[in-house]
Structures are given as structure tokens and as C-alpha cells.
Amino acid sequence: MDFAAERTRMVEQLVRSRYVQDSRVRDAFLAVPREAFVRPEDADDAYADLPLPIGRGQTISAPSMIAIMLEEARLAPGDHVLEIGTGSGYHAALVAHIVGPENVVSIERIPRLAEWGRSNLARTGYAGVTVVVGDGSLGYPEKAPYDCILATAGAPEIPDPWRHQLSSRGRIVAPIGLRSGQVLIVATRKADGNLEIREGTPCAFVPLVGARAWPD
């Protein structure tokens, strides 16, 4: 399979359907090889607009869903980003392409996935991303504050630690709602410190499991 051609075709489709509008997001999708972040047996589906299994009951999200999140995040080079839920590392690689790998921290609760995500990132040129094992419902205070906190697992509400770890004017993009389905929310810190919350696209992410989220 000609993965480069498939990648271009996927990006053209994401642009045509207006999931991708920001040229930084487009360039990131063009640069990051999704086939390197899926299981070998799923490589032929790497550029289908589908979530794919990555083991341990988890998934790599569909490209259109990731595009929606990246557009909402409005990232710029140099932004300091915390991603909750490393999984395959694909979303972290796209973020790293925009803001710079050294500006990305990604936290994963399942050690084997963290290890796999870290190796996928290293193989594709994003070794500078910091991948840590831990409970992302508590954020990652060691590297706070963050200009953006992006969650790729669904939480019942915005965990307080995320609010405290946001920079002034920072934003949280996260699926919030039920275990079975959520709405993507965009929460932006205002000058008075409060969060302005906007509800966006309905979505269905795997649950965020942790002390400030769903029980295991």
C-alpha cells in the first residue's frame, strides 16, 4: 500500500469536509504517518476515518475526531500542552508537530501502552515528547502550567486539578459526560480565573479511569 498517497487522500478528505481548516493542523496530518501508530494487522486501515483497536480495550481515535479536537485547541508553536491518554502516541505526535515535541507532555495510565506510544513517537521523530505513566485525572502538576490540556478519554466532569494546572488564558478540550457518550467541551480560562465553557460535538471516547474520574 502507498501510505503517503493514502495520507494525502485522507487529508484532502478532512479538508473537503471542513474537519480541518487550520493549515497547522493540515500540515501535522500530512507529516505524521498514522500507519506507524496502529497495530501491524490494521495498517491497511490506517487512513480510513475509523477508530482502531490498540489493545487493552483502548482505541486510536478516528482522524476526523482528532481533527475536531485539534481545531478546537487552536495550538500555536511554543504552546505547552498536556495530553491525557497517550495510547498509540498518534495524537501526541500531531500536537508535537504543531507546538514542538519538547512542549508536549502526555500521560497514560496503562504502562504497556505508554511504552508502545513512547516507542512509536521515537520511531517517527517525536522522541522529544515526554510520556509519563500515571493518572491523568490528576493532571501532571510537575510540568504545569499548560496552555492546553487535551483529554482523549471521557470524564464525568472537568477534574479540578486540570483547572488548577491551566495557564492564564489556557484551554481544556475534553469529552465530558457519561461513560457511554460525551460532548466535547472547550473550557477557556478568563482574566478573572473562571472557565468559560462551550459545548461542542457529541462524541464517544473510552472512559477516563482515575481518582477524579470513573472507577476502574
For strands 146-151 and 130-133, give the pairing: unpaired
**Cβ contacts of 7 within 8 Å, gap of 6 or more:** 29, 30, 33, 34, 47
CB 192 within 8 A of CB 215: no
Of the two residues 117 and 170, which places its CB atom closer to ligand SAM in the complex? 117
Given 61, 88, 106, 137, the catalytic residue: 61
Nearer to ligand SAM, 88 or 182 (CB): 88
Min separation Cβ 99 and ligand SAM, Å: 15
Of 159 and 170, the one with the shorter C-beta distance to ligand SAM is 159
Residue ranges in contact with ligand SAM by CB under 6 A: 58-61, 84-85, 87-88, 90-91, 107-110, 113, 135-137, 152-153, 205-206, 208-210, 213
Task: Report the C-alpha gap between 61 and 49 in whole angstroms.
Answer: 9
The reply to whether 119 belongs to the active site is no
User: Strand, helix or coil at 175?
Assistant: strand
Shortest separation between residue 74's beta carbon and ligand SAM, angstroms: 18
Q: How many residues does the chain have?
A: 216
Residue nearest to ligand SAM (CB): 85
CB nearer ligand SAM, residue 139 or residue 170: 139
* d(C-alpha 94, C-alpha 188), whole Å: 21
- Rounded Cα distance between 172 and 99, Å, is 16
Which residues are 135's β-sheet partners?
none
Q: Is the peptide bond prior to 161 cis by the omega test (within 30 degrees of 0)? A: no
Q: Is 104 helix (H, G, I), strand (E, B) or coil?
A: strand
Rounded least distance, CB 88 to ligand SAM, Å: 3
User: Cell 459526560 appears where?
Assistant: 177
Please tell me the distance from the alpha carbon of residue 4 to that of residue 12, in angstroms, as a whole number.
12
Smaller CB separation from ligand SAM, 164 or 169: 164
Q: Please, what is the minimum distance in Å from the beta carbon of residue 169 to ligand SAM?
A: 24
- Residue 136 C-beta: closest distance to ligand SAM, Å: 3
Q: So which residues are the catalytic ones?
A: 61
